[in-house]
Amino acid sequence: MAKVLLGVTGSVAAIYTQDLFADLRQAGHDVKIVATRSALYFFDPLAVEPTPEGERNRDVVVLDEDEWPGHRYQRGDPVMHIELRRWADVLLIAPCDANTLAKLALGISDNCLTCIYRAWDRTRPVILAPAMNTLMWEHPATERHLTQLTADLRSALHVIAPITKKLACEDVGVGAMAERAEIAFRLSMVLPPPD
């Protein structure tokens, strides 16, 4: 099937990352996760295929520290965001929080995930599954950011609108990430048919 780069951002919907990862793997996709620092408040990188030693599997879950490993760059060192961009057939950001949505629209590249997006081959699909509070979703800035991303990516951009339900903050309204089955279905719709 496809090589799916699953971006995970700082929305409470990141608690579903392990399940979404499993769903995509079960559908036959090769999946790697790139998590932002704020996603780690909701998502435990050790919950997805840890090594036999109980450590994070760096081949499956990528963090900012893998992009900037704490030592001075030497020519020939891997450039993680470029390697991941080359590897992936599709970039799926689920959940996509308001902060990351704004960064993508404005071209800000201050973490591994936003660097991947900025270096993305715009002939390949990008799928966003926003998840945020209702008032954040309905804010005029969100509409501007989505309009800008549509202008930038054109037909490569696919937005899976959030759904209405009781949110983690106890508000009831639109803003919850789409159901995992819907995300998996929409992913299958943007991929080319298998050979």
Cα 7 from Cα 42, distance rounded (Å) = 14
123, amino acid identity? T
- 180-190 and 17-26 helices, crossing angle to 10°: 40
Task: Give yes or no: 169 in active site.
Answer: yes
Task: Give yes or no: 139 in active site.
Answer: no
Contact (CB, 8 A) for 116 and 5: yes
Describe the chain by its helix, strand, coil percentages, rounded to 5: 40, 20, 40
Mapped onto helix, strand or coil, the DSSP state of residue 140 is helix
Q: Which of 81, 96, 115, 145 is catalytic?
A: 81
Catalytic residues: 81, 169
